Amino acid sequence: MISKYLVCGAGGFIGGHLVQSLIDEGHEVICADIKPYEYWFQLSEECKNFSLDLKNYDNCLMVSKDVDYIYNMACNMGGMGFIENNKAECMLSVLINTNLLRACVENKVKKYFFSSSACVYNESKQNDTFVEGLKESDAYPAMPEDGYGWEKLFSERMCRHFYEDFGIETRVARYHNVYGTYGTFDGGREKAPAAISRKIITAKNSKKDFIDVWGDGEQTRSFMYIDDCIEGTKKLFNSECRDVLNIGSEEQVSINQMISIIEEIANYEVKKNYQLDKPKGVRGRNSNNDLIRSELNWDTKISLKKGLEKTYSWIENQIKSNLNNNKFTKSY
C-alpha cells in the first residue's frame, strides 16, 4: 500500500539512503533538513523538499501535516572529534524529537521512528578493547556518553512516554557506527571508516608512507554498512515490536585491524602516526543482536570488508572528481 512518509534529516547520510529506498517502494516522501539544498547528500526531485529548522515546533507541525509516518533521522552529530567538542549543540537535538512528537499528537501521525545510538550505553561496560556485545538492557543504570549520548537516551524515554500517554506508536533503534557511500568523508564530522579510507587514498595519491591515527589504534568498534542499516530500520518500523532494539553488526575490530583491511583494498601499506591526545571515545564497543534476531529474525548481511570495498571505491571516485568543491567534505 502506498503511504505518505516524512523523513527528517533527509539531507544527511542515513536519511538520504532511506528516502531513496522509500521512493523505490513507490511511497510519497516529504523530506526535511536544516541544511541548504546544496549541502544535501542526496536530493530527489521526486520528493517535496523543505530546508528548515526542526527545532522549531511550527516547522514540525507544518511538514508533518497529513503524513502517515515519520522517520526522525535528524540530529547534530558527527564522528568522535565532533561530538567530543560540541556537546551542547548535540544536546539541542532533543528539541527536534520533542517537537516532532508533539506534532505527531496534533496531526494524528500513525507511527514515529527515532534513530538512537549505541552512545547511550553505560560507559563502565566499555572499558576494555574486545568486549561482549552490548545488550539493550545495558543502557541502565544510565551513564551514557556525555552530551550526545544523554540526548539520545532522553529522547528514547520521550518516545516511550508519548506512546504511554498519547498512544503514538513509536519505534526506536540504537545504531552502531553506520558507514557507507554518500556520506561525509572529510571536514570534521566523518567517522572512522570514511576517515581512514580518505587518509589512505590521499597518502597513496601523494606517495606518503604514513597516516595519522587517533589514539593507539587498539580501541574497538563494530561497523554496519548502510544497506544493512536501512533494511533493519524498515524491518523494525513495519513490525509490532515496541522494544528499543540494537541495529548494528557484531563483527568487532580494532582501528588497527580496520586499517589493515583498507590497506589490502588499496594495495598500499602505511605507517601509523598515533596521536594519543586526540578524542578516542570508549575503549571498546560492540553490538549484541540477540533481541532483534529473536523479535524480527533479522541480522546484518554485509561483511566489514565488503562494505569497506564499496566505501573506499566511492570515496576514491569523489576525491578524483572534485575534492575542493564537494558537499561530502564540508561541514554545515
Does residue 189 belong to any structural domain of this protein?
no
Give the active site residue among 5, 112, 148, 312: 148
Does residue 237 belong to any structural domain of this protein?
yes
Rounded-to-integer distance, Cα 141 and Cα 261, Å? 36
Does residue 300 belong to any structural domain of this protein?
no
287 bridge partner residues? 134
Does residue 327 belong to any structural domain of this protein?
no
33 contacts 63 by C-beta, under 8 angstroms: no
Pick from 52, 66, 53, 62: nearest CA to 5? 66
Active site residue 332: no
Neighbour count for residue 94 (Cβ, 10 Å): 17
Does residue 301 belong to any structural domain of this protein?
no
Range of the structural domain that residue 83 is part of: 4-179+224-247
Does residue 66 belong to any structural domain of this protein?
yes
Tell me the three-class secondary structure of the chain, residue by residue: CCCEEEEECCCCHHHHHHHHHHHHCCCEEEEEECCCHHHCCCCCCCCEEEECCCCCHHHHHHHCCCCCEEEECCCCCCCHHHHHHCHHHHHCCHHHHHHHHHHHHHHCCCEEEEEEEHHHCCHHHCCCCCCCCECHHHHCCCCCCCCHHHHHHHHHHHHHHHHHHHCCEEEEEEECCEECCCCCCCCCCCCHHHHHHHHHHHHHHHCCCEEEEECCCCCEEECEEHHHHHHHHHHHHCCCCCCCEEECCCCEEEHHHHHHHHHHHHCCCCEEEEECCCCCCCCECCECCHHHHHHHCCCCCCCHHHHHHHHHHHHHHHHHHHHHHCCCCCCC
Along the 332 residues of the chain, how does pLDDT read in single tens digits? Answer: 789 999 999 999 999 999 999 999 999 999 999 999 999 999 999 999 999 999 999 999 999 999 999 999 999 877 777 888 889 999 999 999 999 999 999 999 999 999 999 999 999 999 999 889 999 999 999 999 999 999 999 999 999 999 999 999 999 999 999 999 999 999 888 999 999 999 999 999 999 999 999 999 999 999 999 999 999 999 999 999 999 999 999 999 999 999 999 999 999 999 999 999 998 889 999 999 999 999 999 999 999 999 999 999 999 999 998 755 578 876 66
Does residue 235 belong to any structural domain of this protein?
yes
Q: How many domains does the chain have?
A: 1
Rounded-to-integer distance, Cα 176 and Cα 178, Å? 6
At residue 323, the pLDDT reads 57
At residue 82, the pLDDT reads 83
Does residue 291 belong to any structural domain of this protein?
no
| CATH number for position 124 | 3.40.50.720
